[in-house]
Structure 1
Amino acid sequence: MIGFSNLDLVALTFFAASWVGYHYAVELGPHAGKSLNMRMNLRRARWIRESLLRENRIVDTQVMNGLQNGTAFFASTSMIAIGGTLALLQSAERVVAIFADLPLNSAPTRTVWEIKVIGLAMIFGYAFFKFAWAYRLFNYCVILIGALPPARGHDEREAERAIHETVEMNVAAGRHYNRGQRAFFFALAYMGWFLGPLSFIFFTAAVLVAMYRRQFASDAARVFRYPEGA
């Protein structure tokens, strides 16, 4: 690739493999069921099932509003990040000159700098689409909660179908929200590439370890190690 060394390509490949591998480990792998996200999905299902027993579901809608507000915040932040990243393209020559004065092995060319910036903007763009879609799904979930049958005198088959639809919509919204946050974390790793390929590899490994630990070995993950009913 023009302007990139073999080590740059190795670092970029490691970055992509880390992202895909983390996705597999947390969502599809044999131990995905033990991840914090998957355990929270079970609690989402319990929450929706409990909400069916309540006559007044104001608390449930307030919880959904909180989830929507958090998602909207990250969607707005993604747009700001995209704008800030694209603004770097206008100062490419100045940035390249600054890097040339730093004690680095090699200063990036303008073409290399612009390609890296565009890549970062694409990551934030991906995050925006995930957060925006999660916001829409949480909105659908509010409607489904409102459509749950009454706590008393409901048909069991109708109630089970309504619970299933609401849980699946809630889980889907949470899944896209998590993917958006994942993009933010990997964007931090990607920024290491601006310092060089070795920094890129180190930043990616550090972010990967931190994210994996949060899912499987953090204090939040240990909350769910107690057996049911204990």
Structure 2
Amino acid sequence: MQALTILTLPDWLALVWFGAVWTGYAWYSRRAIRSHSTLLAVTNAWRRRWMLQATYRDPRVVDGVIVQSLSSSPSFFASATLIIIGGLLALLGTTDKAADFVREIPFAARTTMLVFEIKLLVVMAIFVFAFFRFTWSMRQYTFAALVLGSMPEAVEFAQGKAEREGFAERAGTLVGMAAETFNDGIRAYYFSFATLAWFFSPLAFAIGAAVVACVLYAREFNSQVLHLLRD
């Protein structure tokens, strides 16, 4: 019970609201993929078309280069996330100076050193989650490359010795899963910006979470890119 009193009631309410907004939006976005109304769902359809076209090509050098290029994005973000986590760990060692700096910012909340460290740990937990999603996305792209490399020659598909649709569906779905996992990591980056507002006030933290969700919704459900790629 004493641990619960470290944070004030507004802090707890803002933190619960933040978690509800993040998990609720992730759940809603994942369900919307089934109705093909999100940017990820539409691009997944293009990924399956791409893999279907790959079954007609021989050799598939271009497709391998594309998969390698796609995997470079989660690799870059995973490396960047490690640097951020290291910086946050270093900041935990100098929380007194960091807390004094935050206190000098106008409208920043005046909190104890322990509360400041808890807020840093929450930010760090978000980036740890993002790191795991990015590294898992890298591995999924590796699996997709294995499936692409194991595809029979185009002539075998033409002769009916191999199932063209089955290979294309499996490879396309695997690339789509890697993209979805990468999207989870990017979403964590977005929501990490909302946690920065927590250092100012719980209300700013709650508003920041709602703003991030609105920005993500606009990009995934109502962007120009989505309208362009949709059939």
Say yes or no: TM over 0.5: yes
Cα shift readout 1:189-221 (whole Å, capped 9, x = no counterpart): 111111111111121121111110001111111
Superposed displacement of residue 112, structure 1: 0.5
Superposed displacement of residue 139, structure 1: 0.9
2:47 is aligned, of 37, 44, 48, to 44
1:164 is aligned, of 133, 146, 169, to 169
Correspondences of 1:2-151 after superposition (within 5 Å): 2-29=5-32, 33-104=36-107, 106-151=109-154
Stretch deviating more after TM superposition (22-31 or 50-59): 22-31
How far apart in 1 are the matches of 2:15 and 2:25? 15
Superposed displacement of residue 156, structure 1: 5.5
Superposed displacement of residue 105, structure 1: 6.4
2:181 is aligned, of 176, 184, 187, to 176
How far apart in 2 are the matches of 1:173 and 1:107? 42
How far apart in 1 are the matches of 2:81 and 2:10? 29
Correspondences of 1:180-191 after superposition (within 5 Å): 180-191=185-196
8 Å Cα contact 1:26-1:32 kept in structure 2: no
- State TM-score, norm by structure 2: 0.91
8 Å Cα contact 1:85-1:121 kept in structure 2: yes
8 Å Cα contact 1:19-1:186 kept in structure 2: yes
Superposed displacement of residue 18, structure 1: 0.9
Matched positions, count? 226
Letter in 1 for 2:217: Y
Superposed displacement of residue 125, structure 1: 0.6
How far apart in 2 are the matches of 1:58 and 1:30? 30
Which residue does the alignment assign to 2:202?
A: 197
In structure 1, stretches of 5+ residues that fail to align are none
8 Å Cα contact 2:109-2:200 kept in structure 1: no
Letter in 1 for 2:68: N
- State TM-score, norm by structure 1: 0.91
Superposed displacement of residue 7, structure 1: 1.3
Letter in 1 for 2:41: M
Cα shift readout 1:77-105 (whole Å, capped 9, x = no counterpart): 11111111111101111122233344436
In structure 2, stretches of 5+ residues that fail to align are none
Letter in 1 for 2:218: R
How far apart in 2 are the matches of 1:120 and 1:51? 42
1:216 is aligned, of 205, 215, 221, to 221
Identity of aligned residues (%): 30
Q: With CA pairs under 8 Å and 6+ residues apart, which has the higher RCO, 1 or 2? A: 2
Cα shift readout 1:3-55 (whole Å, capped 9, x = no counterpart): 32211112111111111111122111487520001111111111101100111
